Structure 1
Amino acid sequence: MRLLPFDFARDPYVVLDFTASNPDLAALDLTNTPTFARYVSGKLRAAGAVVGVGGYDESRVIYRDSGHFTPTDEEPRTIHLGVDFWAEAGTSVFVPVDGVVHSFADNARYADYGPTIILEHQTAGFPRYSLYGHLSRASLTNLYEGKEVKAGEKLAELGPYPENGDWPPHLHFQLINDMLGLRGDFPGVCRGSERDYWLGLCPDPNPFVF
């Protein structure tokens, strides 16, 4: 399955840890996107990697200062439901398996997905839906619901901040069994108390990528 222009069996990548066990994060202002982006690019350079990966079922602290994920007096959302691929803005994203465009939107709120595409699939053994978040706005051009897409064709590009939801450039890739009636958007982070429910809806993407 081809998702990005990298061969994970050959090209060097580094797993990025955004949990409380990473002491680096305590000293970073993660609400400052340039600071966050320099941290990510520095980790890639230090590892000699072309892409940073990770995040499925990870209990993250990088959402701790964001009202988008942690409204006042509510249990914070910390469990990441997809895999992130941290790479340069403009990196191509490819259709992993045949499908159609289910829906798309520019979720333009701070710390949200930014431009987002959701595909629907009928491929045996592959989940019904796949979500691609933090894209460039140009990636939404000429899309329409029901548009057929073929495995291996270019779908989108990673967006720069702030148009990608104001994150360091990366792809949020998430698999979904049931869209729950939603269109153009779907939770990518859940509360710890609801972890089993959401992981049941959103299977691990790693076996389909690596």
Structure 2
Amino acid sequence: MEIFFMSVFQTVLKSLKAHSVLDASITKNAYVALDLSIHNSHLKTVNIAVSEDLETYVWDYMVSNNAKVAYGGYLETRSIYQRSTYFNQENPETERNIHLGVDLWIEAGTPIYAPLEGTLHSFKNNTNYGDYGPTIILKHQVRDVEFYTLYGHLSLESLEHLKLGAKVKQGQQIATLGTAEINGDYPPHLHFQVIKDMQHFVGDYPGVSNLLDLDFYKQNCPDPNLLLGL
């Protein structure tokens, strides 16, 4: 039987009372789990390489489940990244297709809020095909534990008038979601990721892993639901 031991970092995340990254008035029963992995047989009939087709699938799924938000994706192996040479390589072990964050699918223009107080670490428009598009990264310090949260697929307006090191309050609006035209060509959604060590990255951090590096990323990027509690 497999026994799971939580790290100090994971224990801290689970103990925090985080503000919702979406409007707090959206109750948890209005969220529905969404499977976009290679194991979802329903996706075989969807051309997921086309953002409009994937968007239709996601929104129809939400409507059929009477939901306002679809969420999920942590450690999912996904085929959607095969459409982009930024992720796709010939060697299966080095192909990046394992998702390291949680996606929250909701309309473009939706406000995004800081779950915890922190400071603005960095921001950048990551414009590779299938990449994050506009991205913000916050730095947090809790009980002598330093970590970061990443917000991808934002609007261009979200990057205006930002100042590195600026303080961010818990529950403060920090961004809005972007459209497929600027978010890497995806249906509107937030990619939310927790990161222990930013390494050398600024305004960016890998949100998708290959098999070879997965053990490292599991430790450095634990399940965001420890914080979000979805």
In the superposition, the TM-score normalised over structure 1's length comes to: 0.94
1:41 is matched with: 59
Q: What is the DSSP-based 3-state SS (H/G/I as helix, E as strand, rest coil) of the residue aligned with 1:67?
A: coil
- Distance change in 2, residues 1:7/1:209 (3 Å): farther
* Structure-1 residue corresponding to 2:121: 102
CA contact (8 A) 1:108 1:165 kept: yes
Letter in 1 for 2:97: T
In the alignment, which residue of structure 2 is the partner of 1:16? 34
String of CA shifts for 1:148-183, please: whole Å, max 9, x gaps. Answer: 111011000111111111110000000000011110
2:101 maps to 82
Q: Which residue of 1 aligns with 2:220?
A: 201
Contact 1:11 1:50 in 2 (8 A): no
> What is the aligned partner in structure 1 of residue 200 from structure 2?
181
Instruction: Report SS of the residue matched to 2:82.
Output: coil
Instruction: Name whichever of 35-44 and 117-126 sits farther off.
Output: 117-126
Q: Find the counterpart in structure 2 of residue 28 from structure 1.
A: 46
Q: TM-score, normalised by structure 2?
A: 0.86
Cα shift readout 1:79-138 (whole Å, capped 9, x = no counterpart)? 111100000011111011111110000001210000000011112387610000000000
Shift of 1:40: 0.9
Which residue number corresponds to residue 138 of structure 1? 157
Give the C-alpha shift of residue 24 in structure 1. Answer: 1.7
Question: 22-31 vs 33-42, which deviates more?
Answer: 22-31
Q: State the SS of the aligned residue for 1:77.
A: coil
In 2, Cα distance between the equivalents of 1:182 and 1:98? Answer: 21
> Which of 64, 67, 78 is 2:85 aligned to?
67
* Counterpart residue type for residue 215 of structure 2: D
Q: Give aligned pairs, total.
A: 210
- Return the match for 1:120 from 133, 139, 154: 139
Change (3 A) 1:59 1:8: farther
Q: Report the residue type matching 2:78 in the other structure.
A: R
Residue 19 of structure 1, CA deviation: 1.4
Partner of 1:57: 75
In structure 1, the residue matched to 2:22 is: 4
2: CA distance between counterparts of 1:98 and 1:162? 31
**Structure 1, unpaired ranges of 5+:** none
Q: Please tell me whether the aligned partners of residues 31 and 66 of structure 1 are also in contact (alpha carbons under 8 angstroms).
A: no
Alpha-carbon distance between aligned partners in 2 of 1:71 and 1:41, rounded to the nearest angstrom:
30
